[in-house]
Amino acid sequence: MVSREEQRARVEAALAAHLLDHGLAQTSLRELARAAAVSDRMLLYYFADKAEVLGCAAQRIAADLAGHIGEAVGEGERLAPLALLERAGALVTRAEIRPYMRLWVQMIAAAGRGEAPFPAIAEAMLAGFLAWVEAHLAIDEAADRQAVAAMIVAAVDGLAIIDIGRGPDLAARAALAIPHLGRAL
């Protein structure tokens, strides 16, 4: 017999891996249980209900993603908007990050449908993204700092949409095209 807390942690990790692999497609309690190699009965012993199951797994995923992203720009380093966008955009199609971004789009969509627990999760994750960008954004005080940060986050997230709809190749090329955005004819 293993303590409930240990199992919870192990199951959480397995669920996170499963979500990253399969997205929010197969997320019935029975499928999640199979992915975590426990019975569905046990899932609801470790967690209160399905929302908590998904919520805990998503929280862990968010933390992992934050860790990955944190490495992209040095502590205290600050970049101009397009430079920061370029740096962040290059992450989206990297093999370690791609599953996170694809899942992120599905979570935001679930939040849009009002499906618990995703509204809260999406809001928290988005706030994290915005804070990270703002912290590394070099821009004069006259500009709406938060709005510029939001636009950068939007562009990065949009790359994930391109990735989903057309594959990573176009998404990667789009990211590389960021320096051309500022150029006129």
How distant is the alpha carbon of residue 165 from its chain centre?
A: 17
Rounded to whole angstroms, how far apart are CA atoms 50 and 59? Answer: 14
Quote the tokens at residue 58: 């998503």
Q: Which of 33, 36, 57, 122 binds a copy of itself (CB under 8 A)?
A: 122
- Under 8 Å between Cβ of 99 and 20: yes
77 in helix, strand or coil?
coil
- Under 8 Å between Cβ of 86 and 146: no
Stretch of 49-57, 117-125, 135-143, 166-174 lying at the interface with DNA (CB under 7 A): 49-57
The count of chain residues that interact with a copy of itself, using the rule CB under 8 A, is 61
Q: Does 169 bind DNA (CB under 7 A)?
A: no
Q: Does 20 bind a copy of itself (CB under 8 A)?
A: no
Give the chain's count of helices (H) and strands (E).
9, 0
Task: State the nearest-atom distance from the C-beta of 1 to a copy of itself, in Å.
Answer: 37
Stretch of 1-9, 38-46, 52-60, 73-81 lying at the interface with a copy of itself (CB under 8 A): 73-81
79 in helix, strand or coil?
strand
What residues make contact with a copy of itself under the rule CB under 8 A? 23-25, 78, 80-83, 85, 102, 105-106, 108-115, 122-123, 125-126, 138-140, 143-144, 146-148, 150-159, 161-162, 164-166, 170-171, 173-178, 180-185
